[in-house]
Amino acid sequence: MIDIHCHILPAVDDGADDMAETLDMCRLALEDGVTAVFATPHLFNGMFATDRDSITAAYHDVTAALTAQGIPINLYLGSDLHLTPHILDQLKGEEALTLNGGRYFLLEPSFRLLPPNLGEAVYALISEGFVPIITHPERNDQFLRREERLLELLGLGALCQITAMSVTGEFGQACQQFSRKLMEAGAVHFIASDAHSAGWRRPGMAAALEVAEGLMGAENARKLVLDHPRAVVNDLPIETAEVTHLPRRRKFWFF
C-alpha cells in the first residue's frame, strides 16, 4: 500500500515530535503493509512556521536516516495545503508543494466555514492543470451537513481522500457512516492514514482496506490504497466517475 497523507516529518507541525518518532512511524507503516509514504505536513494554515524550504530540509534528513537505519520504505515529498485566497499563485510560483512534484495536491478546506465560491476556486485550480485531493471530508462538519458541496467539487474533477480511522470507526459513528456512504457511491479515490504520531493516530491502512473490500470488492478497494496512489507517484491520470447523490442508509426503530 501507498499512504498519500501522513504527518511523518519530525518537529515541523503537529505530527512526529522528533526523528525517533518518525522512524517508529515508518516501522509501524511497514508492519501494516505500507511500502511508501508521502510526507505531507501542514502548509499555509497559519498555525505552523512551515514553508517549502523547511519541509524539504526535514524530508532530506528523514530519507538519510531511513537509509542509515536500513528501513526499506519509500518516502515522497508533499504537503497538506490549506485553502488560501492565493493558493493558485502559490502553486504556480512553486511556494506550495504538490505530491511528488506532480499535478496532484492535498487540499484541506476549513472545518469552520466553506467559502461560497469554493467550487469556483477548485475549478480555477483544475483549469490550470492542478488536481486537488479533498482531504478527509468525512471529518468536516460542513460536508457532513451539506454533502452536495463535496459532490459539486468531485463533479468538477477534484478527488476525495478519506481517513483509515474514520472507516474503522475510531473517529466516531458520523465519520464512519459518511466515509462508508462515500465508498459505496464510488466517490472515494484514496484511503490514507493522516497519521500524526506513533501512538493513537498511528500509520496503518490494513484494517480500513478490509472494510473497503467488504463494501466495494477487492479490486475497487485496491485502487484506493495502491493503484490511485501509484498514479499520483508517477503523475498519471486517475479515472473518475460523476456521483450525483449518496446512498441513504435505512433507519431501524426499536421499541
Q: Residue 58 belongs to a domain with what CATH number? A: 3.20.20.140
Beta strand 36-39 with 2-6 is: parallel
Asked if residues 199 and 185 have their Cβ atoms less than 8 Å apart, the reply is no
In a domain, 248, yes or no: no
- What confidence score (pLDDT) does residue 89 get? 94
In a domain, 105, yes or no: yes
Each residue's pLDDT, cut to its tens digit, for the chain (255 residues) gives: 999 999 999 999 999 999 999 999 999 999 999 999 999 999 986 677 789 999 999 999 999 999 999 999 999 999 999 888 899 999 999 899 999 999 999 999 888 788 889 999 999 999 999 999 999 999 999 999 999 999 999 999 999 999 999 999 999 999 999 999 999 999 999 999 999 999 989 999 999 999 999 999 999 999 999 999 999 999 999 988 778 788 775 443 443
In a domain, 193, yes or no: yes
Query: Grid coordinates 477534484 are at which residue?
Result: 158
In a domain, 243, yes or no: no
Instruction: Show the cell assigned to 193.
Output: 492514514
Instruction: Show the cell assigned to 34.
Output: 505500507
In a domain, 59, yes or no: yes
DSSP designation for 93: T
In a domain, 254, yes or no: no
In a domain, 242, yes or no: no
In a domain, 199, yes or no: yes
Q: Could you count the other beta carbons within 10 Å of the beta carbon of residue 215?
A: 16
**What whole-number distance in Å separates Cα of residue 102 and Cα of residue 131?**
9
pTM of the model: 0.94
**What whole-number distance in Å separates Cα of residue 210 and Cα of residue 241?**
23
- What confidence score (pLDDT) does residue 239 get? 86
Q: Name which of 6, 19, 14, 21 is nearest 199 in CA terms.
A: 21
249 residue type, one letter = R
- Burial-class residue 219 by CB neighbours within 10 Å (0-12, 13-18, 19+): exposed
Give the Cα-Cα-Cα angle 209, 246, 179 (nearest 5 degrees): 30
Asked if residues 116 and 99 have their Cβ atoms less than 8 Å apart, the reply is no
**What whole-number distance in Å separates Cα of residue 127 and Cα of residue 118?**
14
- What confidence score (pLDDT) does residue 94 get? 86
Q: Domain range for residue 210?
A: 2-233
- What confidence score (pLDDT) does residue 46 get? 66
**What whole-number distance in Å separates Cα of residue 226 and Cα of residue 231?**
9
Count of domains for the chain: 1
**What whole-number distance in Å separates Cα of residue 149 and Cα of residue 226?**
27
